[in-house]
Structure 1
Amino acid sequence: MMTANDTYFDRLGAALRAGGMPEAEVTTTVADLTAYVTDGAAPDGDGADPAEEFGAPEEFAARLTGSAPVEEPSGGAETWKWTTDVYNDRRLLNQYGDQGWEVERLDRLGRYVCRRDSSAALRWEYRRELANNAQQRAARTAELAPDAWEPCGHWAFYMYFKRPKAASTGPAAELDALAPVPGERVIFGKRLGRMLLILGLSLLALAVLFVCGYGNFVAEHPWVLAVMAAAGLAGGLAGWRGVKQDVAKNLTD
Structure 2
Amino acid sequence: MNTQYERDGYLIGLAERLRARGLPADRVEATVTDLAAHLEESGTEDAEAEFGPADEFAAQLVPDTGVRAPGAADKPDEARGPGEASEVVETWRWTADTYVDEELLNRFGDEGWEVERVDAIGRFVSHRDVAQPQRWEYRRELVTRGREGLDERLAPEGWEACGTWVVYAWFKRPRAASLGPAARVESPPPVPERSRFFSRRFYGLLAVLALAVAVAGISVAVGDEDASSGLGFLVGLLAGAVAVVGVAWALQMWRGRRT
Q: Would the alpha carbon gap of residues 116 and 149 (structure 1) be closer, same or farther in structure 2, given more than 3 Å must change?
A: same
SS of corresponding position for 2:117: strand
Cα deviation for residue 121 of structure 1 reads 1.1
2: CA distance between counterparts of 1:176 and 1:243?
A: 35
Bigger helix fraction? 1
SS of corresponding position for 2:147: helix
2: CA distance between counterparts of 1:217 and 1:140?
A: 50
- 1:172 is matched with which residue? 182
**Aligned length in residues:** 166
SS of corresponding position for 1:110: coil
Identity of aligned residues (%): 38
2: CA distance between counterparts of 1:76 and 1:210?
A: 60
Per-residue CA deviation, residues 190-238 of structure 1 (Å, 9 max, x unaligned), is 111111111223334456678995453798xx9xx9xxxxxx99xx69x
2: CA distance between counterparts of 1:202 and 1:99?
A: 41
Q: Residue 195 of structure 1 is aligned with which of 205, 217, 222?
A: 205
Q: Residue 186 of structure 1 is aligned with which of 191, 196, 219?
A: 196
- 1:162 is matched with which residue? 172
SS of corresponding position for 1:247: coil
SS of corresponding position for 1:92: helix
| AA partner of residue 173 (structure 1) | A
Further displaced range: 188-197 or 91-100? 188-197
- 2:138 is matched with which residue? 126
Q: Would the alpha carbon gap of residues 197 and 216 (structure 1) be closer, same or farther in structure 2, given more than 3 Å must change?
A: closer
- Larger RCO, structure (CA 8 Å, separation 6 or more): 1
SS of corresponding position for 1:119: coil
**2:135–2:185 contact (8 Å) kept in structure 1:** yes
1: CA distance between counterparts of 2:68 and 2:167?
A: 29
Cα deviation for residue 76 of structure 1 reads 1.8
Q: Would the alpha carbon gap of residues 94 and 73 (structure 1) be closer, same or farther in structure 2, given more than 3 Å must change?
A: farther
- 2:50 is matched with which residue? none
SS of corresponding position for 1:216: helix
2: CA distance between counterparts of 1:79 and 1:177?
A: 17
- 2:129 is matched with which residue? 117
Per the normalisation by structure 1, the TM-score is 0.56
**2:175–2:183 contact (8 Å) kept in structure 1:** yes
What are structure 2's unaligned runs of at least 5 residues?
Answer: 1-39, 43-66, 70-86, 237-242
What are structure 1's unaligned runs of at least 5 residues?
Answer: 1-67, 226-231
**2:115–2:126 contact (8 Å) kept in structure 1:** yes
Cα deviation for residue 81 of structure 1 reads 0.5
Q: Would the alpha carbon gap of residues 210 and 139 (structure 1) be closer, same or farther in structure 2, given more than 3 Å must change?
A: same
Q: Would the alpha carbon gap of residues 69 and 122 (structure 1) be closer, same or farther in structure 2, given more than 3 Å must change?
A: farther
Q: Residue 104 of structure 1 is aligned with which of 116, 127, 138?
A: 116
2: CA distance between counterparts of 1:243 and 1:154?
A: 12
Q: Would the alpha carbon gap of residues 105 and 73 (structure 1) be closer, same or farther in structure 2, given more than 3 Å must change?
A: farther
2: CA distance between counterparts of 1:149 and 1:182?
A: 26
Further displaced range: 204-213 or 153-162? 204-213
The Cα RMSD (Å) is 3.6
Per-residue CA deviation, residues 25-68 of structure 1 (Å, 9 max, x unaligned), is xxxxxxxxxxxxxxxxxxxxxxxxxxxxxxxxxxxxxxxxxxx9
Per the normalisation by structure 2, the TM-score is 0.55
- 1:94 is matched with which residue? 106
2: CA distance between counterparts of 1:217 and 1:154?
A: 41
